[in-house]
Homo-oligomer: A and B are copies of this chain.
Amino acid sequence: MMKLLKGIEVSKGVKLQITNTIKELEEMDKFPQLGIIRVGNDPSDISYEKSIIKNCDSLGIKTKIVELDEKIDTDDLVSAMEELNNDTLVSGILVFRPLPKHIDEEKVRISINPSKDVDCMHPLNLEKIFEGDITGFSPCTPKAAMEILLYNDIPLEGKNVVVINRSMVVGKPLAMMLLEKNATVTICHSRTQNLSEITKNADIVMTGLGRAKFLDDKYFNESSIVIDIGVSLDSDGKISGDVDMDKVNDKISMVTPVPGGVGSVTTSILLKQVVDACKMN
């Protein structure tokens, strides 16, 4: 039987940690608050924002939403950031990205106070990830993927893990986190040749292609463990992961569903980093 690695269980565990930390913080008269900067009204930003606020409300984390006009220039955006940096009630700051093209994203990245950088966008925080130091903030998606492996007691030491994605928000940080757990890591991408040969020989495949149902049973073996980080729409317009679930069904060992897998843990990771930031600052 193929095991479904559902995110909800993992997310519950993370939320329990959050609740416990909030209790500790209350005793110190500290109250976590997430500042969110949203430029413009992109529907996916708004939908993510709503989900974050709902989760914050249910856990007792305050939110402060800074809505900015999509025509704002870089300097004014940096000023908005500095206001949140200086607001002692704000524990962590999230900026929805990608930002409009006229904005100098580099300037925005370095303007965030690294100790409030709960989405890990500041170069100094990313460099720590490069070094394998995950005691600080991590990019939320790869951290969520790691959390699923951890929660399910899936061993990584000496295992061959293939990561299909080489972005700074998913693949590269994920590869560094896996190395830290002593996995042997192969990073694949759009230019990789013989992808199926590489994935078929791996113990674990972590994919963030963003191509609905691209990976069928030919890419795996019967003991494959697959963490699906891809999110895209299939030909019927339904949200789908990279894995063709019908074709791999019972032909691999474990897989995360989409939706209900990695994505459902990501927000919990973000909020855990908000309460951790509140604790540290």
What is the interface of chain A, defined by CB distance below 8 A to chain B?
Answer: 123-124, 126-131, 157-158, 160, 166, 168, 172, 175-176, 179, 182, 184-189, 191-193, 198
Query: B192 and A130: CB pair below 8 A?
Result: no
Please report whether the interface of chain A is mostly helix, strand, loop or mixed according to DSSP.
Answer: mixed
Tell me the bound Cα distance from A75 to B127 in angstroms: 24
Q: Is the pair A130, B168 in contact by a Cβ cutoff of 8 Å? A: yes
Query: Pick the contact of A189 from B175, B184, B186, B198 — CB < 8 Å?
Result: B184
Question: Are A124 and B126 closer than 8 Å at their CB atoms?
Answer: no
Residues of chain B with a CB closer than 8 A to A124's CB: 123-124, 127
A-B contact list, 14 entries, CB within 8 Å: A123-B128, A124-B127, A126-B127, A127-B127, A127-B130, A129-B130, A131-B168, A158-B191, A158-B192, A158-B193, A160-B198, A179-B187, A182-B191, A185-B186
- How many copies of the shown chain assemble into the complex? 2
When A127-B126, A130-B126 are in contact, do A182 and B189 touch as well, CB less than 8 Å?
yes
* Residues of chain B with a CB closer than 8 A to A157's CB: 191
Q: Which of A126, A131, A184, A186 has the most CB of B within 10 A?
A: A184
List of B residues within 8 angstroms of A172 by Cβ: 130, 176, 179
- In chain B, what residue has the closest Cβ to A198? B184
In Å, the complex CA distance between A127 and B129 comes to 9
Nearest chain B CB to A120's CB is how many angstroms away? Answer: 11
Q: With A130-B168, A168-B131, A172-B130 in contact, is A187–B189 under 8 Å at CB?
A: no
Cα separation A64 to B198 with both chains bound (whole Å): 50
Residue from the set A124, A126, A189, A191 with the largest chain B CB neighbour count within 10 Å: A191
Partner of A166, one of B129, B168, B179, B188: B179
